[in-house]
Amino acid sequence: MSVTDKYTGIPLPRNGDQVRRRLQEAALELYATNGFDQTTTAEIATRAGVTERTFFRHFADKREVFFEGEAALIAMLVDGVHCAPDGDAPMEVLLHAFRSVVALVEANRPFLEPRQKVIEAIPALRERALAKAAAVTAALSAALVERGVDYPLAMLAAQTGIAAFGYAASTWHGDSSSGLASHLDRAFAHLHELAQSTGLAKRRATKK
């Protein structure tokens, strides 16, 4: 037996995850066509086939509709840090953590690519994205500290790792011939190459 919205009589998806995804997709369509400032939560709810009250049961505001799931992502990344092999260097630990969320990110690719374009075009969403990135960085650095990494190094590693993950995601969006994991491995390999070249340059400068 199908369940209908209490106020509209419209059939509802079977679970909360599907309701959230319908709201996210509706917001994506409206922000892209009408603009963020011109779109209301009521319009998003109507496009998704639910009521505005249902919208606010899932999201705090019309910015947060694009960032639902961040808490779960952070939890997975932190668990990835904790589960990394003992003795791994901080960047190896972070690569292990980012690999643990590859399947989740790849499964959401049809939504993530157009979402990123909308975020880049809307200042209010870029601001929220930066705040979310800061939260991920803080969580990763704290997890590294728990593994015995000094805080300054842990923060630097987390910031660098987030940048590498962002670079990998960007190149992956532009190249569907290989999976995100391959782009992620290459990004961290480039970091290793940069570190080595920096060390070589310093040694050469010392000899002069």
SS (H, E, C) 137-198: HHHHHHHHHHCCCCHHHHHHHHHHHHHHHHHHHHHHHCCCCCCHHHHHHHHHHHHHHHHHHH
Position 129: which residue type? Answer: A
pLDDT of residue 8: 46
- The predicted-structure confidence for 50-81, as pLDDT tens digits, reads as follows 999 999 999 999 999 988 788 889 999 999 99
Residues 118, 42, single domain; the answer is no
pLDDT of residue 14: 55
Q: Does 147 reside within a domain? A: yes
Q: Report the mean per-residue pLDDT for the chain.
A: 88
Which stretches of 23-118 are assigned E, i.e. beta strand?
none
Residues 103, 196, single domain; the answer is yes
Q: What is the mean pLDDT of residues 175-192?
A: 92
Domain range for 166 is 69-207
Side-chain-facing half-sphere of 31: CA atoms under 13 Å: 24
Position 96: which residue type? Answer: H
Residues 31, 81, single domain; the answer is no
Query: What radius of gyration, in Å, describes the C-alpha atoms of the chain?
Result: 21
Residues 57, 89, single domain; the answer is no
- The predicted-structure confidence for 154-171, as pLDDT tens digits, reads as follows 999 999 999 999 999 999
Other CB atoms within 10 Å distance of the CB of residue 69: 14
From 61, 78, 97, give the residue that closes a domain: 61
Residues 76, 34, single domain; the answer is no
- The predicted-structure confidence for 101-134, as pLDDT tens digits, reads as follows 999 999 888 888 888 889 988 898 899 999 999 9
- For the record, the structure tokens of 131 come out as 């705040």
Residues 80, 170, single domain; the answer is yes
- The predicted-structure confidence for 188-205, as pLDDT tens digits, reads as follows 999 989 888 765 455 555
- The predicted-structure confidence for 19-52, as pLDDT tens digits, reads as follows 988 999 999 999 989 999 999 999 999 999 999 9
CATH number for the domain that contains residue 146: 1.10.357.10
Contact 91, 160 (CB under 8 A): yes
Give SS3 for 3: coil
Residues 79, 144, single domain; the answer is yes
Q: Does 1 reside within a domain? A: no
CATH number for the domain that contains residue 32: 1.10.10.60
59 class by beta-carbon count within 10 Å (0-12 exposed, 13-18 middle, 19+ buried): buried
Side-chain-facing half-sphere of 22: CA atoms under 13 Å: 19
